[in-house]
Amino acid sequence: MKEITRTPIVILNFKTYLESTGEKALNLAKISQEVAEETGVNIAVAPQHADLLRISGQMSIPVLAQHVDAVDAGGHTGSVLLESVKEAGASGTLINHSEKRMKLADIQQVVKKATEQEMISVLCTNNIETSAAAATLQPTFVAIEPPELIGSGIPVSKAEPEIVEGTVDIMHQINPDVKVLCGAGISTGEDMKAALDLGSEGVLLASGIVLAEDPKKALLDLVSKI
């Protein structure tokens, strides 16, 4: 399995932007790999499911699914099976992103299945309380993302630093093995440095890179102060 747990880490969520769909998704993944190789920073990408197989087959950096459903193999038409994304080359998956919320029981099932399949789980939360609950489920990463700041250009590391610090503190108390990532509004090197200074071990971001006029330049700036 491609390395992903080394920190600091940058996880780039492609979401469903046209700028990160199909051939453009592959190009963005190649740019991410180039920056990872040039800087030595651990960078992972999370493309749409339809692009997983092609991208994972051509990349040496880790590739994640954006979501999987809490289902086992069988009659679940339209659902995303964890075993399917693993076969497509995914090293793990995002779980409970603010744009794809899940029920607690489903989150627990997906985290458990990912662990059993030796896959990485990146569990997204929106505040300190949900982060505390997430820690007990033992995901690989908890990514703290206040939904009101996602895509805003206002980084949580600066707008609400107490949420990041509080999540790091509670994680150390409940389950120090779970690594904390900072998300929402992250786009520059200053943003990432601030996130790391608050105790996080990386960032989860999207539009600041995906929609940048020059994604490679934006990624290089993002990791420039590590």
Give the whole-angstrom CA distance, residue 221 versus residue 183: 17
Strands, DSSP E only, in 14-125?
42-46, 64-65, 92-95, 120-125
- Give the start-to-end residue ranges of the domains of the chain: 9-222
**pLDDT of the residue at 158:** 63
**pLDDT of the residue at 160:** 66
Give φ, ψ of 212 to 5 degrees: -70, 150
**pLDDT of the residue at 1:** 44
Active site residue 145: yes
Taking the complete model, does pTM exceed 0.75, yes or no? yes
Active site residue 97: yes
Give the whole-angstrom CA distance, residue 51 versus residue 2: 17
> DSSP states of 63-83 as a string?
BEES---S--SSS-TT---HH
> Of the listed 3, 67, 97, 213, which one is catalytic?
97
Length of the chain: 226
Spans in the chain with pLDDT lower than 70: 1-3, 146-160
Q: What angle do CA 89, 56, 212 make, to 5 degrees?
A: 135
Counting DSSP H helices and E strands in the chain, the numbers are 10, 8
> Of the listed 145, 165, 190, 201, which one is catalytic?
145
Specify the CATH number of the domain 9-222: 3.20.20.70
